[in-house]
């Protein structure tokens, strides 16, 4: 192949991959609209993509039945020493893993074009940005990376002749013989899927899957698993967090980062439309935040992505009108249903179920069908810039100052609506012991309780005990400029299966209390699990919702919390001697607080003012 860029190391690596994977052709991506349109037209002509008549420049893809989500059991963090990966990661020794994958990569791109995608996580030129280069044999990946990252010539210029970049190699693992017709969704068998990370080398190798974060290597692979390791080395943080700006009627701005497991309301919260008169919200990011301490000592965050890769089922004008506004054009949909009038549909959509559609499996579907029309993990890929509530500062290269950190998950019981951490170390304990009921977006039977520390269990690129220690260290460095830390649960139900809290835009009422706590203008009571508001501390103006349910959402069943102590102890015990002593102290203090309380209490009185 001919070298086409001035960066010699990049050219040499690309040539190594050509020699290994043996593609029929090589294409260096320039990131232009013309390139995107050409590749999409090629996939339409091959029957891989379906244009959507109802949505300009939007397309529907259907994946293989075996390639519908992250494959955590085939995702590896590879260090020479297993202890560095820790108990929450799958580990294979680097030499052995590389040998296995090199055998798979040998000739894996025969019959295909190899695409070289220079991309920037973060606005090109931002001091917080990182550059990666993904090599792939999937045009679907190229088009998604166009939306999710900044791609092409501007990145090559920023890289210069000697700039550092993260190497990301991907193949669908389906070489073609001469004359062989390609599959609609090429991928390897499940046993030959590997999503491998080599953090010591800032290297990602992915093989066999064409889906989502398994293939769009700028997303979870680089922006979290590799970046989390880089962040620890360099003194910053890479987190599975949304970034939201909340603005009160006086124009005061509050910046919030929130960590939630996938499919637990993170995208909805990031595009919040407040129901409190005079309050506004702007979206800065819906999934990943990179945070650094700024010159003023405060914590600043950027969204390293350029698009949204969200779960479609459940997204509606009721749950997220801003997302629905974002999806009107220029989008890629995967594993949604196709209606007869050329649109997409999914369960819990605003539109009623169509009388007939083609489901995500490519089969006829009617409301009487036993299978869902869309896969529960069906996705949309949409440009962030066209979100109706995107912040004008969403690409600020310096980031925005963070006032509030939120952890949360999907719990139908036990965890109350809102808790504020007693201090930073308690906040780290809350994040480290966070739990959620599993959904279709992650591994495990739906509804099982899963400890997901900081919503990072699938994404932390090193031993999570060391990750906890890094959080403690960052708090020490921030000192009195640490953000306030909260824990929320929008998903409680009563004994009759009814929601205790209305959620969606009304979540702004809880966020308002958080902002008032930051300003020192809101009361709270101290409970065994943290500071909590009474029902009188929440702004419920105009809310049409049963008050008894809100009262119940703020109740604390101490007995239920005590019953979970053994699970928390088992969760933390897996880290052995590597677990920070400060975490052990937090667990001991938590147990003492619970032991000193009656079995049932409620946040009914305002006993303590904000600190």
Active site residues: 264
Strands 280-285 and 241-247: antiparallel
Taking alpha carbons only, the member of 482, 460, 86 closest to residue 238 is 460
Q: What are 27's two structure tokens?
A: 């294409």
Strands 332-334 and 59-61: parallel
Kindly report the number of other CB atoms within 10 A of residue 19's CB atom: 9
d(CA 527, CA 516): 19
d(CA 139, CA 43): 8
Taking alpha carbons only, the member of 57, 208, 18 closest to residue 27 is 18
DSSP 287-330: S-EEEEE-TTS-EEEE---SEEEEE-TT-STTT-HHHHHHTTSS
d(CA 136, CA 139): 8
Query: Do the Cβ atoms of 163 and 75 come closer than 8 Å?
Result: no
The DSSP H or E segment spanning 170 is strand 166-171
Q: What are 579's two structure tokens?
A: 């677990």
Taking alpha carbons only, the member of 593, 478, 601 closest to residue 551 is 601
Query: Do the Cβ atoms of 79 and 105 come closer than 8 Å?
Result: no
β-partners of residue 300 are 292, 401
Q: What are 362's two structure tokens?
A: 């490519």
d(CA 144, CA 219): 11
CA 247 to each of CA 277, 511, 530: distance values in angstroms, whole numbers, following the listed order? 11, 11, 26
- For residues 296-324, one letter each, b for 16 or more C-beta atoms within 10 angstroms of the residue's C-beta and e for the rest, the string is eebbbbbbbbbbbbbbbbbbbeebbbbbb
Taking alpha carbons only, the member of 317, 275, 246 closest to residue 544 is 275
| Dihedral of alpha carbons 200, 142, 343, 372, sign | negative
d(CA 402, CA 305): 18
CA atoms within 13 A on the CB side of 80: 2
CB contact set of 265 (below 8 Å; sequence gap of 6+): 408, 410, 490, 491, 503
Q: What are 609's two structure tokens?
A: 């003012």
Q: Is 13 helix (H, G, I), strand (E, B) or coil?
A: helix
The DSSP H or E segment spanning 422 is none
Q: Is 258 helix (H, G, I), strand (E, B) or coil?
A: strand
d(CA 3, CA 264): 45
d(CA 338, CA 343): 6
């Amino acid at each position: 192949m001919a070298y086409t860029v001035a960066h010699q190391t990049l050219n040499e690596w690309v040539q190594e991959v050509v020699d290994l994977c043996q593609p029929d052709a090589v294409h260096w991506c320039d990131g232009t609209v013309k390139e995107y349109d050409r590749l999409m037209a090629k996939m339409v002509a091959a029957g891989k993509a379906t244009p959507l008549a109802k949505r300009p420049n939007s397309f529907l893809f259907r994946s293989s039945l075996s390639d519908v989500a992250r494959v955590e059991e085939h995702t590896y963090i590879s260090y020479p020493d297993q202890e560095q990966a820790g108990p929450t990661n799958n580990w294979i020794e680097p030499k052995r893993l590389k040998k296995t994958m090199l055998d798979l990569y040998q000739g894996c791109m025969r019959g295909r074009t190899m695409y070289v995608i220079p991309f920037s996580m973060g606005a090109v030129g931002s001091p917080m940005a990182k550059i990666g280069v993904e090599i792939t044999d999937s045009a679907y990946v190229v088009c998604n990376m166009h939306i999710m990252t900044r791609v092409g010539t501007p990145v090559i210029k920023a890289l210069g002749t000697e700039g550092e970049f993260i190497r990301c190699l991907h193949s669908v693992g389906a070489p073609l013989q001469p004359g062989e017709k390609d599959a609609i969704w090429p991928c390897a068998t499940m046993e030959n899927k590997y999503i491998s990370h080599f953090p010591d080398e800032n290297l990602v190798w992915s093989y066999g899957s064409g889906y989502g974060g398994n293939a769009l290597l700028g997303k979870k692979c680089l922006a979290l698993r590799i970046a989390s390791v880089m962040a620890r080395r360099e003194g910053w943080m890479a987190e599975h967090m949304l970034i939201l700006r909340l603005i009160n009627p006086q124009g005061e701005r509050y910046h919030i980062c929130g960590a939630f497991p996938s499919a637990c309301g993170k995208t909805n919260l990031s595009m919040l439309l407040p129901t409190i008169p005079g309050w506004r919200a702007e979206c800065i990011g819906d999934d990943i935040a990179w945070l650094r301490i700024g010159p003023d000592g405060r914590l600043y965050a950027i969204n390293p992505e350029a698009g949204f890769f969200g779960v479609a089922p459940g997204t509606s004008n009721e749950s997220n009108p801003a997302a629905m506004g974002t999806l009107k054009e220029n989008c890629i949909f995967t594993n949604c249903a196709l209606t007869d009038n050329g649109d997409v549909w999914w369960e819990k959509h605003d539109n009623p179920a169509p009388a007939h559609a083609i489901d995500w499996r490519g089969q006829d579907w009617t409301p009487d069908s036993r299978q869902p029309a869309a896969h529960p993990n069906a996705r949309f890929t949409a440009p962030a810039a066209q979100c109706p509530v995107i912040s004008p500062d969403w690409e600020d290269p310096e980031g925005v100052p963070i006032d509030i950190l939120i952890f949360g998950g999907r719990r139908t019981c036990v965890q109350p609506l809102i808790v504020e951490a007693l201090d930073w170390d308690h906040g780290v304990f809350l994040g480290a012991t966070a739990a959620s009921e599993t959904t279709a977006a992650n591994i495990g039977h739906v509804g099982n309780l899963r400890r997901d520390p900081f919503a990072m269990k699938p994404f932390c690129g090193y031993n999570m005990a060391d990750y906890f220690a890094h959080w403690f260290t960052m708090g020490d460095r921030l000192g009195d400029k640490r953000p306030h830390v909260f824990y929320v649960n929008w998903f409680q139900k009563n004994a009759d299966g009814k929601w205790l809290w209305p959620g969606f835009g009304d979540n702004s009422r809880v966020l308002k209390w958080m902002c008032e706590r930051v300003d020192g203008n809101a009361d709270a009571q101290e409970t065994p699990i943290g500071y909590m508001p009474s029902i009188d501390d929440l702004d419920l103006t105009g809310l049409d919702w049963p008050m008894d349910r809100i009262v119940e959402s703020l109740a604390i069943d101490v007995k239920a919390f005590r019953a979970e102590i053994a699970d928390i102890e088992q969760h933390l015990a897996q880290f052995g001697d590597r677990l920070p002593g400060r975490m052990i102290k937090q667990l001991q203090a938590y147990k003492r607080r619970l032991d000193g309380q009656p079995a049932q209490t409620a946040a009914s009185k305002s006993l303590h003012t904000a600190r």
